[in-house]
Amino acid sequence: MEGYGIHPMGLSIVQWLRELGRGVVDICYPGGCAACGVMQEPAGFLCEGCEQELQKIERAGGCYGCGMPLPAGSACPRCRGKGLYPFDQVLRLGVYGGPLRDLILRMKYHRQWTIAQSLARRLLRHGLVEMLLKDDVVIAPIPLYGWRQIGRGFNQAEVVAAELARQTGRPMVHPLARIRPTETQTRLHSKQQRAQNVRGAFALINPKIIDGRPVALVDDVMTTGATLREAGRTLREGNPGELSAIVLAVADPSNRGFTAI
């Protein structure tokens, strides 16, 4: 993720071009695997290899407090059981990599709603997500800054949140607004830089809608958690009930495959 020529989500120019190339493949060969693009017979969402790999990613243990990977039954060395303040829990599909990474990139850059639908469905198979979204909870996406959303025409957090809302019948609400543009977090490497970059980025524009109610804040990928924490802190001003974060994937902030604590 270091150096010049890195695009959002940590893509090098070569990877970026490859992603663009895949977009062409999508148009030409709609029967390809949504993650790796390989043609399959009969046509399905994922090829067998990607499906198995994704299931492995989903089955791997994670800390419910901070979302980081964790071998089953062990205590979390990252948050030491304290979780990610100000959240009561952080739920996710898995670690950012393999087919999960491919799907998130395709959803984001090729605006593929079918991928958001499928990933939301997979999130709902996660027992804790299913339980959380049965309650009186409201679902809130992390907002983008105005022109950024207009430029992209697509807020991937909102697409996933909308799918979770649609599949569970829970309301999607917009208690937050992004009140200033922020530099893309992927270009900032330290935790401090990322926290500084998003400080004061959100405003609570609709506190009534979350007053006393449990809130599930949705984003696509969590890296240092700086954006989620800043948005969470702003939401807390509105006196919500339990506050949870739901993300598709967690990425290693030091980009070392979660080997360093």
Of the candidate residues 63, 119, 222, 250, the single one contacting Zn ion (CB under 5 A): 63
Query: Nearest-CA neighbor of 48 among 57, 58, 38?
Result: 38
Contact flag: residue 35 with Zn ion (CB under 5 A): yes
Contact flag: residue 55 with Zn ion (CB under 5 A): no
β-sheet bridge partners, residue 32: 39
Q: For the CB of residue 76, give the shortest distance to Zn ion in the complex, in Å.
A: 3
Give helix then strand counts, H and E, for the chain. 9, 6
User: Looking at beta carbons only, is 53 or 158 nearer to Zn ion?
Assistant: 53
Near Zn ion by CB under 5 A, which window of 30-38, 132-140, 149-157, 186-194?
30-38
Q: For the CB of residue 32, give the shortest distance to Zn ion in the complex, in Å.
A: 8
Of the candidate residues 76, 123, 133, 140, the single one contacting Zn ion (CB under 5 A): 76
Of the candidate residues 9, 11, 33, 217, the single one contacting Zn ion (CB under 5 A): 33
To the nearest 10°, report the CA torsion of 7, 252, 216, 151: 0
SS3 at position 244: strand
What residues have CB less than 8 Å from 6, skipping those under 6 apart?
Answer: 12, 186, 187
User: Residues in the site for Zn ion, rule: CB under 5 A?
Assistant: 33, 35-36, 47, 50, 63, 65-66, 76, 78-79
